[in-house]
Protein backbone atom coordinates (compact mmCIF):
# COMPACT_ATOMS: atom_id res chain seq x y z
CA UNK A 1 0.00 0.00 0.00
CA UNK A 2 1.22 3.52 -0.79
CA UNK A 3 2.63 5.59 2.04
CA UNK A 4 0.68 8.82 2.54
CA UNK A 5 2.68 10.33 5.41
CA UNK A 6 6.24 9.22 6.12
CA UNK A 7 7.68 10.24 9.47
CA UNK A 8 11.40 9.60 9.30
CA UNK A 9 13.61 9.80 12.38
CA UNK A 10 11.91 12.92 13.71
CA UNK A 11 13.41 14.57 16.78
CA UNK A 12 12.06 17.75 18.34
CA UNK A 13 13.81 19.74 21.02
CA UNK A 14 12.42 22.80 22.74
CA UNK A 15 15.14 25.06 24.15
CA UNK A 16 18.88 24.48 23.94
CA UNK A 17 20.64 21.55 25.56
CA UNK A 18 21.71 22.41 29.11
CA UNK A 19 19.06 25.13 29.20
CA UNK A 20 16.65 24.93 32.19
CA UNK A 21 13.66 24.74 29.80
CA UNK A 22 15.20 22.10 27.53
CA UNK A 23 12.66 19.41 26.52
CA UNK A 24 13.27 16.49 24.21
CA UNK A 25 9.65 16.35 23.05
CA UNK A 26 10.25 13.70 20.35
CA UNK A 27 13.21 11.38 20.16
CA UNK A 28 13.88 9.60 16.87
CA UNK A 29 10.27 8.87 15.91
CA UNK A 30 9.60 6.98 12.67
CA UNK A 31 6.46 5.43 11.20
CA UNK A 32 4.36 5.57 8.07
CA UNK A 33 0.67 6.32 7.62
CA UNK A 34 -0.58 4.37 4.63
CA UNK A 35 -3.06 5.73 2.10
CA UNK A 36 -6.58 5.35 3.51
CA UNK A 37 -5.37 4.27 6.92
CA UNK A 38 -6.60 5.53 10.31
CA UNK A 39 -3.75 5.71 12.82
CA UNK A 40 -3.99 7.03 16.38
CA UNK A 41 -1.17 8.46 18.43
CA UNK A 42 -1.91 7.32 21.96
CA UNK A 43 -0.04 8.25 25.11
CA UNK A 44 -0.08 10.22 28.34
CA UNK A 45 0.16 13.98 28.59
CA UNK A 46 3.50 15.37 27.44
CA UNK A 47 4.58 12.47 25.22
CA UNK A 48 4.71 14.72 22.16
CA UNK A 49 1.48 13.78 20.36
CA UNK A 50 0.51 17.38 19.56
CA UNK A 51 4.10 18.24 18.70
CA UNK A 52 4.22 15.43 16.15
CA UNK A 53 0.85 16.41 14.66
CA UNK A 54 1.98 20.05 14.41
CA UNK A 55 5.15 18.98 12.59
CA UNK A 56 3.07 16.95 10.11
CA UNK A 57 0.73 19.95 9.71
CA UNK A 58 3.75 22.16 9.02
CA UNK A 59 3.03 24.46 11.99
CA UNK A 60 6.40 23.54 13.52
CA UNK A 61 9.73 22.30 12.19
CA UNK A 62 11.41 19.12 13.34
CA UNK A 63 14.82 19.64 14.95
CA UNK A 64 16.02 16.59 13.03
CA UNK A 65 14.39 14.20 10.59
CA UNK A 66 11.84 14.62 7.82
CA UNK A 67 8.10 14.32 7.31
CA UNK A 68 6.90 13.55 3.80
CA UNK A 69 3.36 13.74 2.43
CA UNK A 70 3.02 11.83 -0.85
CA UNK A 71 6.81 11.61 -0.88
CA UNK A 72 7.34 15.38 -0.71
CA UNK A 73 9.01 16.89 2.39
CA UNK A 74 6.68 19.11 4.42
CA UNK A 75 7.92 22.71 4.41
CA UNK A 76 4.88 24.45 5.92
CA UNK A 77 1.09 24.23 6.18
CA UNK A 78 -0.83 23.24 3.03
CA UNK A 79 -4.33 22.45 1.78
CA UNK A 80 -3.35 18.77 1.44
CA UNK A 81 -3.55 18.52 5.25
CA UNK A 82 -6.64 19.49 7.26
CA UNK A 83 -6.62 19.92 11.03
CA UNK A 84 -9.37 19.48 13.64
CA UNK A 85 -8.52 20.90 17.07
CA UNK A 86 -9.78 20.08 20.54
CA UNK A 87 -11.33 23.54 20.98
CA UNK A 88 -13.35 23.45 17.72
CA UNK A 89 -11.57 26.50 16.23
CA UNK A 90 -14.74 27.76 14.53
CA UNK A 91 -15.01 31.44 13.70
CA UNK A 92 -17.50 32.69 16.31
CA UNK A 93 -18.80 35.49 14.08
CA UNK A 94 -19.70 33.10 11.25
CA UNK A 95 -22.67 30.75 10.95
CA UNK A 96 -22.20 26.99 10.52
CA UNK A 97 -22.66 27.45 6.76
CA UNK A 98 -20.11 30.27 6.62
CA UNK A 99 -17.63 28.28 8.69
CA UNK A 100 -17.97 25.18 6.51
CA UNK A 101 -17.73 27.14 3.24
CA UNK A 102 -14.72 29.15 4.47
CA UNK A 103 -11.98 26.92 3.05
CA UNK A 104 -13.96 26.32 -0.15
CA UNK A 105 -14.32 30.06 -0.75
CA UNK A 106 -10.55 30.45 -0.37
CA UNK A 107 -10.20 27.91 -3.19
CA UNK A 108 -12.30 30.28 -5.33
CA UNK A 109 -15.10 27.79 -5.94
CA UNK A 110 -18.35 29.41 -7.12
CA UNK A 111 -20.71 30.30 -4.25
CA UNK A 112 -23.39 27.76 -5.30
CA UNK A 113 -20.83 24.97 -5.44
CA UNK A 114 -19.44 25.97 -2.01
CA UNK A 115 -22.93 25.82 -0.55
CA UNK A 116 -23.74 22.51 -2.19
CA UNK A 117 -20.59 20.89 -0.80
CA UNK A 118 -21.13 22.50 2.60
CA UNK A 119 -24.78 21.34 2.80
CA UNK A 120 -23.73 17.80 1.94
CA UNK A 121 -21.13 17.75 4.73
CA UNK A 122 -23.34 19.52 7.27
CA UNK A 123 -25.99 16.83 6.63
CA UNK A 124 -23.35 14.10 6.83
CA UNK A 125 -22.46 15.11 10.40
CA UNK A 126 -26.15 15.31 11.37
CA UNK A 127 -26.52 19.10 11.42
CA UNK A 128 -29.01 19.64 8.59
CA UNK A 129 -31.26 22.52 9.67
CA UNK A 130 -28.55 24.20 11.73
CA UNK A 131 -26.78 25.91 8.81
CA UNK A 132 -27.63 29.42 9.99
CA UNK A 133 -26.76 29.00 13.66
CA UNK A 134 -23.72 30.67 15.17
CA UNK A 135 -21.25 28.59 17.23
CA UNK A 136 -22.50 30.06 20.55
CA UNK A 137 -25.96 28.73 19.70
CA UNK A 138 -24.66 25.15 19.47
CA UNK A 139 -23.68 22.52 22.04
CA UNK A 140 -20.03 21.45 22.27
CA UNK A 141 -20.83 18.27 20.35
CA UNK A 142 -22.54 20.25 17.57
CA UNK A 143 -19.60 22.64 17.36
CA UNK A 144 -17.23 19.73 16.94
CA UNK A 145 -19.52 18.22 14.27
CA UNK A 146 -19.32 21.58 12.46
CA UNK A 147 -15.53 21.65 12.73
CA UNK A 148 -15.41 18.11 11.37
CA UNK A 149 -17.71 19.04 8.46
CA UNK A 150 -15.50 22.03 7.69
CA UNK A 151 -12.30 19.99 7.57
CA UNK A 152 -13.74 17.14 5.51
CA UNK A 153 -15.55 19.49 3.09
CA UNK A 154 -12.14 20.82 2.03
CA UNK A 155 -11.29 17.26 1.00
CA UNK A 156 -7.71 17.25 2.33
CA UNK A 157 -5.54 14.25 1.52
CA UNK A 158 -4.70 13.80 5.17
CA UNK A 159 -6.88 14.65 8.13
CA UNK A 160 -5.06 15.53 11.36
CA UNK A 161 -7.12 15.52 14.54
CA UNK A 162 -5.80 16.57 17.94
CA UNK A 163 -8.07 15.20 20.68
CA UNK A 164 -11.20 16.48 18.92
CA UNK A 165 -13.49 14.79 21.45
CA UNK A 166 -11.61 15.58 24.66
CA UNK A 167 -13.99 18.40 25.63
CA UNK A 168 -17.12 16.37 24.77
CA UNK A 169 -19.14 14.51 27.43
CA UNK A 170 -18.73 10.74 27.51
CA UNK A 171 -22.18 9.89 26.13
CA UNK A 172 -21.94 12.23 23.14
CA UNK A 173 -18.35 11.11 22.55
CA UNK A 174 -19.36 7.56 21.60
CA UNK A 175 -21.82 8.86 19.02
CA UNK A 176 -19.23 11.25 17.60
CA UNK A 177 -16.66 8.48 17.25
CA UNK A 178 -19.04 6.70 14.88
CA UNK A 179 -19.62 10.01 13.09
CA UNK A 180 -15.88 10.47 12.57
CA UNK A 181 -15.59 7.01 11.04
CA UNK A 182 -18.55 7.73 8.78
CA UNK A 183 -17.14 10.98 7.37
CA UNK A 184 -13.69 9.45 6.88
CA UNK A 185 -15.03 6.40 5.06
CA UNK A 186 -15.06 6.00 1.27
CA UNK A 187 -18.13 7.58 -0.33
CA UNK A 188 -19.34 8.85 -3.71
CA UNK A 189 -16.31 7.43 -5.45
CA UNK A 190 -13.93 9.20 -3.07
CA UNK A 191 -11.40 6.98 -1.33
CA UNK A 192 -11.21 6.52 2.40
CA UNK A 193 -9.39 9.36 4.17
CA UNK A 194 -5.90 8.99 5.59
CA UNK A 195 -6.17 10.08 9.22
CA UNK A 196 -3.68 10.78 11.98
CA UNK A 197 -5.64 11.07 15.23
CA UNK A 198 -4.40 12.06 18.68
CA UNK A 199 -6.05 10.75 21.82
CA UNK A 200 -5.23 9.68 25.35
CA UNK A 201 -8.19 7.32 25.46
CA UNK A 202 -7.27 3.68 24.85
CA UNK A 203 -10.88 2.77 23.99
CA UNK A 204 -11.21 5.65 21.54
CA UNK A 205 -7.97 4.69 19.81
CA UNK A 206 -9.09 1.06 19.46
CA UNK A 207 -12.59 1.97 18.27
CA UNK A 208 -11.35 4.28 15.52
CA UNK A 209 -8.02 2.95 14.34
CA UNK A 210 -6.41 0.46 12.01
CA UNK A 211 -3.19 0.84 13.98
CA UNK A 212 -2.27 2.55 17.25
CA UNK A 213 1.12 4.18 17.83
CA UNK A 214 1.67 3.95 21.58
CA UNK A 215 3.98 6.71 22.86
CA UNK A 216 5.78 7.40 26.12
CA UNK A 217 6.90 10.75 27.53
CA UNK A 218 10.23 12.40 28.35
CA UNK A 219 11.62 11.84 25.86
CA UNK A 220 8.68 11.22 23.51
CA UNK A 221 9.23 7.85 21.87
CA UNK A 222 7.23 5.10 20.22
CA UNK A 223 6.75 2.26 22.66
CA UNK A 224 4.91 -0.05 20.28
CA UNK A 225 2.63 -0.07 17.25
CA UNK A 226 -0.52 -2.14 17.76
CA UNK A 227 -2.70 -3.43 14.92
CA UNK A 228 -6.47 -3.33 15.54
CA UNK A 229 -8.07 -6.31 13.80
CA UNK A 230 -11.78 -5.54 14.36
CA UNK A 231 -14.09 -5.52 11.33
CA UNK A 232 -15.65 -2.33 9.94
CA UNK A 233 -18.14 -0.75 10.13
CA UNK A 234 -17.58 -0.50 13.88
CA UNK A 235 -20.48 0.06 16.24
CA UNK A 236 -21.65 -0.61 19.80
CA UNK A 237 -21.19 -4.35 19.30
CA UNK A 238 -17.49 -3.69 18.58
CA UNK A 239 -17.08 -1.99 21.96
CA UNK A 240 -18.88 -4.78 23.79
CA UNK A 241 -16.83 -7.61 22.30
CA UNK A 242 -14.55 -9.36 24.81
CA UNK A 243 -11.65 -8.99 22.32
CA UNK A 244 -12.05 -5.21 22.48
CA UNK A 245 -11.75 -5.18 26.27
CA UNK A 246 -8.87 -7.61 26.12
CA UNK A 247 -6.91 -5.42 23.71
CA UNK A 248 -7.62 -2.36 25.91
CA UNK A 249 -6.26 -4.27 28.90
CA UNK A 250 -3.12 -5.29 27.02
CA UNK A 251 -2.38 -1.71 25.90
CA UNK A 252 -3.00 -0.41 29.42
CA UNK A 253 -0.61 -2.92 30.98
CA UNK A 254 2.10 -1.91 28.47
CA UNK A 255 1.58 1.81 29.11
CA UNK A 256 1.04 1.70 32.86
CA UNK A 257 4.68 1.45 33.89
CA UNK A 258 5.52 4.49 31.75
CA UNK A 259 2.97 6.80 33.35
CA UNK A 260 4.64 8.90 36.00
CA UNK A 261 3.01 11.40 38.30
CA UNK A 262 3.19 14.88 36.73
N1 LIG B 1 6.20 25.54 22.36
C2 LIG B 1 6.78 24.78 23.31
N3 LIG B 1 7.85 25.24 24.01
C4 LIG B 1 8.46 24.48 24.94
N5 LIG B 1 8.09 23.24 25.25
C6 LIG B 1 7.03 22.72 24.62
C7 LIG B 1 6.30 23.47 23.61
N8 LIG B 1 5.31 22.68 23.12
C9 LIG B 1 5.39 21.53 23.80
N10 LIG B 1 6.41 21.53 24.69
C11 LIG B 1 6.82 20.42 25.57
O12 LIG B 1 7.01 19.27 24.78
C13 LIG B 1 6.48 18.11 25.41
C14 LIG B 1 5.45 17.47 24.52
O15 LIG B 1 4.33 18.33 24.44
P16 LIG B 1 3.02 17.99 23.60
O17 LIG B 1 2.10 19.14 23.75
O18 LIG B 1 3.40 17.60 22.23
O19 LIG B 1 2.46 16.72 24.36
P20 LIG B 1 1.06 15.96 24.22
O21 LIG B 1 1.39 14.51 24.13
O22 LIG B 1 0.27 16.56 23.12
O23 LIG B 1 0.38 16.25 25.63
P24 LIG B 1 -1.20 16.45 25.99
O25 LIG B 1 -1.79 15.05 26.01
O26 LIG B 1 -1.17 17.05 27.36
O27 LIG B 1 -1.81 17.33 24.96
C28 LIG B 1 5.95 18.57 26.76
O29 LIG B 1 6.92 18.33 27.74
C30 LIG B 1 5.71 20.05 26.56
O31 LIG B 1 5.86 20.76 27.77
MG1 LIG C 1 -1.54 17.59 23.05
- What DSSP string describes 128-156? TT-TT--GGGS-HHHHHHHHHHHHHHT--
Extents of the domains making up the chain = 36-61+158-262, 84-155
Q: Is 104 helix (H, G, I), strand (E, B) or coil?
A: helix
Nearest CA, atom 16, ligand 1:
48
Superfamily of domain 36-61+158-262: P-loop containing nucleotide triphosphate hydrolases (3.40.50.300)
Distance 62 CA to ligand 1 centre (A): 14
Model pTM? 0.94
Tell me how far the alpha carbon of residue 14 lies from the centroid of ligand 1, in angstroms.
Answer: 9
* Dihedrals phi, psi of 6, to nearest 5 degrees: -105, 120
Phi, then psi, of 26 in degrees rounded to 5: -135, 135
For the CA of 60, the nearest ligand: 1
Cα 142 to middle of ligand 1, angstroms:
28
CA–centroid distance, 59 to ligand 1, in Å, is 14
Per-residue pLDDT of the chain (262 residues; tens, 9 = 90+): 799 999 999 999 999 888 888 999 999 999 999 999 999 999 999 999 999 999 999 999 999 999 999 999 999 999 899 988 887 789 999 999 999 999 898 888 899 999 999 999 999 999 999 999 999 999 989 999 999 999 999 999 999 999 999 888 888 899 999 999 999 998 888 899 999 999 999 999 999 999 999 999 989 999 999 999 999 999 999 999 999 999 999 999 999 988 876 5
Q: Which of 12, 13, 14, 160 to mutate to test the pocket of ligand 1 (most atoms within 8 A of CB)?
A: 14
The whole-angstrom separation of Cα 262 and Cα 246 is 28
The residue count of the chain comes to 262
Pocket of ligand 1 (CB under 6 A): 14, 23, 25, 43, 45-51, 200, 220
> What distance in angstroms lies between residue 113's CA and the mean position of ligand 1's atoms?
40
CB–CB of 41/198 below 8 Å? Answer: yes
Q: Is 14:21 a contact under the CB 8 Å cutoff?
A: yes
Amino acid sequence: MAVKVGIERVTKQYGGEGDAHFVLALDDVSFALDDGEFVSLLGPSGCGKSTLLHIVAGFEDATQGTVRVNGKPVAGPGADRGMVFQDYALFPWMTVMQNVTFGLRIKNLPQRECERIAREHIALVGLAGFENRFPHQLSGGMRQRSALARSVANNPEVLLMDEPLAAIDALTRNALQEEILKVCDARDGRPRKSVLYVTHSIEEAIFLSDRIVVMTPRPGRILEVVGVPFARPRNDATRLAPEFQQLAGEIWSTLKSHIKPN
